[in-house]
Structure 1
Amino acid sequence: MTKQLLTKSLLSLTLIGAATAAQAEEIQLNAISFTPKTVVISHGFEQFVAAINEEFDGELEINWRGGPEVMPPFRLADAVRNGSIDMALTSPSYYSGLVPSATASNLSFKTYEEIAETDYLARMTEVHAERGLHFLGEIPASPVQFFLFFKEEVSGIEDIAGKRIRVFPTILPFVEALGAEPLVLPMGEIYTAMERGVIDGFAQSNIGWVDQFEDVVNYYITPPYYRAGFNVLVNPDAWNELPEDLRDRVQAYLREELAPQIDQSWEEVIDSGYAQMDEAGFQEVALTGEAADEYIATAIEAAWDKLAEDVEPELHAELKAMLVD
């Protein structure tokens, strides 16, 4: 072998070795979401996964394996805690039994940036750590709010009493305070429950699902209430496999740069949701004046009063001061 050929061979081996080492250093975290990949509400998490994989290419890759078809949504937080999966996107209310204070983030009308200016994110990190979870941050959707939808006509608050309404756990106290009967059901079971008359209405946002419910919904009540936001949970052991510097950079990137961008990206999605409701012929039942004030006050007060039963008084006061004006 000539000296020149030997030099080229050694250089090739060096480059191959360097590439292999770089590839070996990249850490992969498997993630599952509480929503299917294809639905509109997954919009924020889709942005998150793509942005993280691009920003930290060669260091960290998030492998989004799917949603409810992979694992039932209400099991995600426990699966993260016990290490069955590395990461999950979940609704705060879906693991309120494990971390009761997590639901507080929905009980607000503030934007993500307003909340991030407080100590909320740091406090939630501490609270989750106590329960064996790492709280990476929020995939915010502050402009996405919630409505009550019905098939039969309602004209005001008084018509809600006695109705059976599908809720997720965060909304249960509000619906109960309205004199209705709340039933906790996953999103995927709403249509069948409405069609069979198991429920009279349901609590939901207004984005991306109208065409699936046209024949079981005719009315919705405004004003909307609360804010949406979804938590990214990571198994502490999996998280600690990342070098400390990388952990700091990933968390700061989500909380300080990416989350505010995601929070401001929902306008087109929301506008489309309203357009779909109009096209489907959903009729708005608009509460005004004292009725609207009573409706919103009940939503906030009932939920925070219920949270006070499950959260230590000091933490409850801290969170309410951060999230409610």
Structure 2
Amino acid sequence: MNFHIDTSRRALLGAIAGGLALTVGSVAAKAEEVITAATAFPRQLAFTQSFLGFVELVNERGAGVVRIDYRGGPEAIPQNQQMDATARGVIDMHYGPASFHLGRMPEADAFVGSTVTAMEARENGGFDIMKEAFAEKLGVELLAHIDSGVQFYVYTIEEPTLTPDGDLDLSGRTLRSQPIYNAFFESLGAVPVSVPVPDVYTGLERNTFDGAGWPIIGIQDLSWDRFLKYRVDPGFYNTDLVVVMNPDSWAELGDEAKEIVRQAAIDYEQISYDAFQKQIAETNASVQEAGQTVIALEGEAADRYLDAAYDSAWERMRAAGTERYDVLREKYYTR
């Protein structure tokens, strides 16, 4: 009888052990939560490389808990579909310019027309207001405004004209543009044309246009500096690159995973800012050494130039209509 009791106990213990093994195995399999991500730009561009630095930071800190799985850039999901794909849950995370979505979220111009860093906007409450706008207008969870502090410039193939008062006069010149530049370029007399980034090099090569608006970062990565021999200073605007997530994907993350991603997002705003300030200085020296000439506006002419640039962004937001205009201007604009 003892034999039969022992056998039964062994069978019972075996069944319990097997069940525990299945449970533990199941928990282990689910332990590392995976976030799928896509970027608006191709992998080789400096901004995408910066986002991959954020991915690496999360994956290092979240080893065994949470991991970001980078699926690619526009070749994986078309650029103009990525935000909606994130809102619908096709992918969990997206990195790209907020200004791509000005039509639905005019508040994006707060990033464009910002004169404060992302860190300062978190501190003064501006970031929380932007989180509300992203959730309401685009249906996504705003995690970070990374790569801030990178300004934009006007570049030309031929030397630009200055008026007797020292103002920039681009009358009749055709500049590669995008919506955030259009009103500003027109105020300078230029004719803005919309050309996708991959087609700009060919356009410059064929003299399709006379110049372009672009940040100092990436100008060499794209080889545009081969044609754009003049840069107008000072720089204007601010990069508006954001990391967002599908709200359900964010809510479903475990508390530990969520905290790892949240803190990495906060930390990477500073990390990316510092890294790009260094890269800006290096690129500035490199392009000038390669023959690019800087045309620096001075004094009141520089002030008029910057006022025209920033006013165009804030006026666009005001005209589009948002109840957040006044508070966002207070938080993001200090000129």
Is TM more than 0.5 here?
Answer: yes
Do 1:27 and 1:242's aligned partners in 2 also have CA atoms closer than 8 Å? yes
Aligned residue for 2:279? 269
Tell me how far 1:26 sits from its aligned partner.
Answer: 2.5
| Alpha-carbon distance between aligned partners in 2 of 1:188 and 1:96, rounded to the nearest angstrom | 22
Aligned residue for 2:332? 323
Tell me how far 1:132 sits from its aligned partner.
Answer: 4.5
Aligned AA for 1:238? S
Do 2:106 and 2:321's aligned partners in 1 also have CA atoms closer than 8 Å? yes
Aligned residue for 1:182? 192
| Alpha-carbon distance between aligned partners in 1 of 2:43 and 2:68, rounded to the nearest angstrom | 14
SS in 1 for 2:226: coil
Out of 272, 288, 294, the residue aligned to residue 298 of structure 2 is: 288
Out of 58, 74, 97, the residue aligned to residue 52 of structure 1 is: 58
Does 1:196 pair with 2:206? yes
Does 1:279 pair with 2:289? yes
Q: 1:64 to 1:248 in 2, by over 3 A?
A: closer
Aligned AA for 1:278? Q
| Alpha-carbon distance between aligned partners in 2 of 1:136 and 1:175, rounded to the nearest angstrom | 30
Aligned residue for 1:164? 174
Tell me how far 1:28 sits from its aligned partner.
Answer: 1.5
Q: 1:306 to 1:110 in 2, by over 3 A?
A: same
Out of 91, 97, 105, the residue aligned to residue 99 of structure 1 is: 105
Does 1:121 pair with 2:131? no
| Alpha-carbon distance between aligned partners in 1 of 2:273 and 2:297, rounded to the nearest angstrom | 27
Tell me how far 1:111 sits from its aligned partner.
Answer: 1.6
SS in 1 for 2:240: strand
Aligned residue for 1:239? 250
Does 1:223 pair with 2:229? no
Aligned AA for 1:23? A
| Alpha-carbon distance between aligned partners in 2 of 1:35 and 1:193, rounded to the nearest angstrom | 19
SS in 1 for 2:259: helix
Do 1:23 and 1:58's aligned partners in 2 also have CA atoms closer than 8 Å? no
Aligned residue for 1:311? 321
Out of 145, 154, 163, the residue aligned to residue 151 of structure 2 is: 145
| Alpha-carbon distance between aligned partners in 1 of 2:257 and 2:178, rounded to the nearest angstrom | 32
Tell me how far 1:180 sits from its aligned partner.
Answer: 1.5
Q: 1:229 to 1:264 in 2, by over 3 A?
A: farther
TM-score normalised over the length of structure 2: 0.86
Tell me how far 1:162 sits from its aligned partner.
Answer: 2.2
Aligned residue for 1:72? 78
| Alpha-carbon distance between aligned partners in 2 of 1:308 and 1:189, rounded to the nearest angstrom | 32
Aligned residue for 1:131? 137
| Alpha-carbon distance between aligned partners in 2 of 1:253 and 1:160, rounded to the nearest angstrom | 45
SS in 2 for 1:149: strand
Aligned AA for 1:102? A
| Alpha-carbon distance between aligned partners in 2 of 1:187 and 1:109, rounded to the nearest angstrom | 26
| Alpha-carbon distance between aligned partners in 1 of 2:126 and 2:321, rounded to the nearest angstrom | 15
SS in 2 for 1:147: strand
Do 2:35 and 2:69's aligned partners in 1 also have CA atoms closer than 8 Å? yes
| Alpha-carbon distance between aligned partners in 1 of 2:311 and 2:35, rounded to the nearest angstrom | 39
Deviations 1:193-236 (A, max 9, x none): 22223321111011243261243211110011112231112122
Aligned AA for 1:225? F
SS in 2 for 1:131: helix
Q: 1:158 to 1:147 in 2, by over 3 A?
A: closer
| Alpha-carbon distance between aligned partners in 2 of 1:169 and 1:240, rounded to the nearest angstrom | 33
| Alpha-carbon distance between aligned partners in 1 of 2:251 and 2:158, rounded to the nearest angstrom | 52
| Alpha-carbon distance between aligned partners in 1 of 2:151 and 2:194, rounded to the nearest angstrom | 18
Do 1:207 and 1:272's aligned partners in 2 also have CA atoms closer than 8 Å? no
5+ residue gaps, structure 1, are none
Aligned residue for 2:37? 31
SS in 2 for 1:121: helix
| Alpha-carbon distance between aligned partners in 2 of 1:270 and 1:250, rounded to the nearest angstrom | 29
Do 1:109 and 1:142's aligned partners in 2 also have CA atoms closer than 8 Å? no
TM-score normalised over the length of structure 1: 0.88
Tell me how far 1:15 sits from its aligned partner.
Answer: 6.8
SS in 1 for 2:104: coil
| Alpha-carbon distance between aligned partners in 2 of 1:126 and 1:22, rounded to the nearest angstrom | 35
User: Which stretch shifts more, 204-213 or 281-290?
Assistant: 204-213
User: Which stretch shifts more, 75-84 or 224-233?
Assistant: 75-84
